Structure 1
Amino acid sequence: MNENLVGEFAGLSTKTLLWVEERVGPGAKVISGASLKGGISSAVYGLKIKQGDHCHEAVLRQFTNTEWLREEPELALHETAALQAASAAGLSSPRWVACDPDGGACGLPSVLMTRLPGRVVLDPADLPGWLGGLAWKLAEIHAAEGPPIEWSYFTYNEVSRLTVPEWTRVPEAWGRIIDRVQGLPSPYRPQFIHRDYHPTNVLWQEGEVSGVVDWVNACMGPTGIDTGHCRLNLVQMYGVEAADAFLESYLSVARKDGCNVNDPYWDMLCLIEMLPGPPEVYQGWPDLGLDALTPELLARRLDEYAESLVRKLASFVQPR
């Protein structure tokens, strides 16, 4: 490792770079590196690695959020298991290379993986086609077969302690949503889910989805959490109509067993993750070019979504 190059690697330490080279294999040399945009809970770096006549591109994630690590100390092992499961199922995911689970080698818990081709697209010229691509790729993930991983779904919010947010203009709708998620859960069969599926974790190349990244939250759980989480993001980014079009596209191609993702319960369970609020613009959006959003716009769109889900719940009948 050339000690003089350390300053050109976005702050990565010499021992981290040495660890990367050792894990890639004999003759590997990191020749460049840069911090990647979009992540807010960990530091993610794109690396170029020369090995003989070949040049690899890799991604290194270092877990820097101490509160998250306190709650889930096995994050690096979790992402390792998720990447290995996704790869074994033939999904368009990064390939796992190495893991430093406790930061003993790198100073921080770290995961090294291959880099997928493509880029995040948040300003699609063909919005319906783009939404369809998101839906198709998620249905492909949910159709994957393989042994379960040991991590299971849980809600991020304490459902029993929810209260109607102060910032809303439609408190009745939020009250009805809270009543529903505090009631009996809808049935489902656990399947492998991404758990953080949304547009900034999907890569595109030549108008097609080229891969899905950020698998650290993947687990066994209800597929309705993946559709619901993506819809929640789409509502904030583009409005309720876009989220509904995504769900319609997903339902047209997805398997019908395991979980009824059309049940508004799953969308409501994802929506309450916004509480108590008030809504804030996720930094990944402006970092990746979507810079017209404001907290006021998000609040209005979330209220519209809450009202639409309450209307849907009033007419929903759970299939037998």
Structure 2
Amino acid sequence: MVPDHDEAAAVRPLTLAWVSRYLEAGERVVGIEALHGGITAETRRLTIGTRDGGTRDLVLRTFVDVEQAQDWLNAEDWLNGEADALNLLTGTGVPAPGLVAVDPAAAHCEYPSLLMTHLAGRAMLDDEGLETRVPLLARQLVAIHALRPAERPREYVTLATADTAVTPKGADVAAWAAAIDVIRGSVPPYEPPYEGRFLHRDFHPGNVLFDVPPAWPEGARITGVVDWVATSWGPAWGLRFAEACEEAGGVPAAAASERLYWRVRDGLAFSEEVQLVSQPWREAGRTELTTQVVEQRLDAYVTALMDAPG
């Protein structure tokens, strides 16, 4: 998430009163800052004035766009899922926020909301220093996939189908047709000997926080992984990043056909929301990532999948 210091970031009255219930005696909200980068919810950093004159930060996530969140039930499900995930992650060593409170059905707030602890660090969205960050990202993702909580998160689901995929203008039509045929077939089995993984389901640079010493970029370290709304249990996949994950100890699906299936499904699911997903990246400073540019990159990715030997 990327802060916006210029935007008036007011929190609605009922929500602010709800937040106040979870503060220590003598504490109050003294600052509010919008965090950009999300798609389905408003996210705010709340600066809390403490009794000793100091401050601490919390983060408030609120689903205000019902149409964007699909419906109230979905917003409730997502927030319950994130609350459960944050509880499961407690004590695992994965640097995730701590759950403070959740109001998934908007019983106390104007809209469904979740309050969590704030993590230090910032998202790194530029290409500089990428060669240093990729191994760190891979190791962090492998650590997430290795989690085996006593209670598993919800099972992986996808709404993307062969009929909902959107072939970008100017794309390699033959490659896309072949890719669509891949997911038109049967889904690889989810039952034993299928081995699922603990999935973040939205692991990308915008949801990973780094501390990078100004005088020593090679000393970068991950300080947090955020946005656990889509956490689930299911298959893990990727393309070039998968190589880094394997080097970090990750284990891909054994069958090439299964690896191809999940990678293709992921790419085609993204094809349905290119404009929606690319806008936050532009707001975060990557202005060159126009919808057309992202469509071209997605086409290159899908074409590479279909051209890969397996």
- Measure how far apart 1:279 and its partner are: 5.3
Supply the distance in 1 between the matched residues of 2:199 and 2:247 (Cα, whole angstroms): 19
Unaligned runs of at least 5 residues, structure 2: 1-6, 213-219
Which residue in the other structure is 1:309 paired with?
305
TM-score where L is the length of structure 1: 0.82
Which residue in the other structure is 2:266 paired with?
270
- Measure how far apart 1:92 and its partner are: 0.6
Which residue in the other structure is 2:3 paired with?
none
Percent sequence identity over matched residues? 31
Instruction: State whether residues 191 and 258 of structure 1, in contact with CA within 8 Å, keep that contact through their aligned partners in structure 2.
Output: no
Which residue in the other structure is 1:116 paired with?
119
Which residue in the other structure is 1:59 paired with?
59
1:257-311 alpha-carbon deviations (Å, 9 max, x no partner): 7777992222101011134567566122122211112233222222221221112
Among candidates 222, 226, 242, match of residue 209 of structure 1: 222
Q: Give the partner amino acid of 1:86.
A: L
Supply the distance in 2 between the matched residues of 1:256 and 1:10 (Cα, whole angstroms): 43
TM-score where L is the length of structure 2: 0.84
Which residue in the other structure is 1:247 paired with?
242
Supply the distance in 2 between the matched residues of 1:307 and 1:300 (Cα, whole angstroms): 10
Supply the distance in 1 between the matched residues of 2:274 and 2:142 (Cα, whole angstroms): 32
Which residue in the other structure is 2:39 paired with?
40
Supply the distance in 1 between the matched residues of 2:152 and 2:8 (Cα, whole angstroms): 34
Which residue in the other structure is 2:20 paired with?
21
Instruction: State whether residues 280 and 294 of structure 1, in contact with CA within 8 Å, keep that contact through their aligned partners in structure 2.
Output: no
- Within-5 A mapping of 1:37-116: 37-53=36-52, 54-67=54-67, 68=69, 69-70=71-72, 72=74, 73-116=76-119
Instruction: State whether residues 223 and 259 of structure 1, in contact with CA within 8 Å, keep that contact through their aligned partners in structure 2.
Output: no
Which residue in the other structure is 2:233 paired with?
220
Which residue in the other structure is 1:183 paired with?
185
- Measure how far apart 1:162 and its partner are: 4.1
RMSD, aligned CA: 2.5
Q: Find the residue that maps to 1:292 and give its secondary structure.
A: coil
Higher helix share: 1
User: Aligned residue pairs: how many?
Assistant: 288
Q: Give the partner amino acid of 1:201.
A: N
> Which range moves more in the overlay, 258-267 or 107-116?
258-267
- Measure how far apart 1:195 and its partner are: 0.6
Q: Give the partner amino acid of 1:127.
A: L
Instruction: State whether residues 81 and 149 of structure 1, in contact with CA within 8 Å, keep that contact through their aligned partners in structure 2.
Output: no
> Which range moves more in the overlay, 273-282 or 14-23?
273-282
Q: Is it true that 1:299 corresponds to 2:295 in the alignment?
A: yes
Instruction: State whether residues 120 and 209 of structure 2, in contact with CA within 8 Å, keep that contact through their aligned partners in structure 1.
Output: yes
- Measure how far apart 1:167 and its partner are: 1.7
**Cα 1:148/1:259, change in 2 over 3 Å:** farther
